Amino acid sequence: MARLAQSFPVVTVTGPRQSGKTTLCRTVFPEHRYVSLEVPDTRAFARSDPRGFLEPLCGGAVIDEVQRVPDLLSYVQGEVDSDAQPGRFVLTGSANLALLESVSQSLAGRTALLQLLPCSLDEVRLFPGAPLDLLATVWTGGYPAIFDRGVPAGEWLGAYVATYVERDARQLLNIGDLETFQTFIQMCAGRVGQLLNLSSLGADCGITHNTARAWLSVLETSFLTFRLHPYHANVGTRLVKTPKLYFHDTGLLCFLLGIRQPEQLRSHPLRGAIFESWVASEVLRWRVHRGLRPDMYFLRDHKGYEVDVLVADGERWLALEVKSGKTVATDFFAALEALPRRITLPPGVRRLDRAVVYGGDEARLQRDIRVVPWSGVASLFGE
């Protein structure tokens, strides 16, 4: 963030509510003035007199929850066009501002866009009392307030769903039937790791295909869910072209699934899919927190062959098989061993690394494939 602020007059940080955006920005830019558009009178001032609002902030400011006054961005544009000094404004927003027309039109070429998602495993472990075993880690998730304030995860996540999710639903899509929307969120949780079928999802909730599509966009805009799209270039077979659905935070996912204790995960029928979502979200966080494009896919054909995660990382691509079991089995390696025969890498890709990420604790090399314990996902990227 600090590096980008040396090149761009505006840095925009998006992410889910309570992911730590405000704390991060105020820590990195302690000399900037701080204002929050969540405060009603501050928001009213910014709406009624945007030039007057910005005048005392032109020397450097962190403007929090800027999505609450989207018209303000046009005036920020005017300020930075007249004085493009790097790092003047740091904007935060809980909706995905990269998808909002106001940012793309007003600040195109003027702002660096960053995402701050819930904490990664390595970040969680910086907190005192962080969970150490796999089940507790996946069940608790990565929202920093749970660790920083010492609030029981189930209580905090329940309040999060009741307040932030419902408020975002009202603000972003003017959803009136919150009970049905709540059912929709829970239905999405029940389909984690599966191919996304909006017609089936909508039918199970009693809504239309188009409504399901619109509501899912709310979940994605609020950084609750994300889609992993299939890779289908340069592969000589019929491939599935439907994305899979994942959650950014498995603590929230477990709460929506009614999992109230970590031990329930041990025998839960969706344990494998939940673990797969956790690994995919860990990889995604590693990339977007460094300002990289996600460039993540999965591979599946109509005969059942599948690679869980494929990361297109420049000259080096990485293929992952994700297994929640604690014991390495022979069949863990089948898909990865067949991958070089099934895929033609684009020009410029020099390496195809393969790894099994599993629920155990031992790391080793087997059949020229890395075996990586759940706690070592960051090691896949050299950390």
Task: pLDDT tens for the chain, 383 residues: list them.
Answer: 888 889 999 999 999 989 999 999 999 999 999 999 999 999 999 999 999 999 999 999 999 999 889 889 999 999 999 999 999 999 998 866 554 666 667 788 889 889 999 999 999 999 999 999 999 999 999 999 999 988 999 999 999 998 877 777 777 777 777 888 889 999 999 999 999 999 999 999 999 999 999 999 889 988 999 999 998 765 545 567 889 999 999 999 999 999 999 999 999 999 999 999 999 999 999 999 998 999 999 998 877 789 999 999 889 999 999 999 999 999 999 999 999 988 888 888 989 999 999 999 999 999 899 999 999 999 998 75
- The three-state secondary structure class of 58 is coil
Record the pTM.
0.93
Identify the H or E element spanning 12: strand 10-14
Identify the H or E element spanning 210: helix 209-221
The pLDDT of residue 169 is 72
- Domains plus CATH for the chain? 4-115 (3.40.50.300), 121-381 (no CATH)
What residue type is assigned to position 132 of the chain? Answer: L
The pLDDT of residue 237 is 54
Half-sphere exposure of 318 (CA within 13 A, CB side): 23
The pLDDT of residue 198 is 94
Name beta bridge partners: 12: 91, 113
The pLDDT of residue 104 is 65
Q: Find, among 248, 275, 280, 244, the residue nearest to 262 by Cα.
A: 275
Q: How far is CA 241 from the centre of its chain?
A: 21
Q: Determine the Cα angle at 293 with ends 288 and 297, to 5°.
A: 105
Q: What is the total residue count of the chain?
A: 383
User: DSSP E strands: which ranges in 258-366?
Assistant: 296-300, 306-313, 316-323, 351-358, 364-366
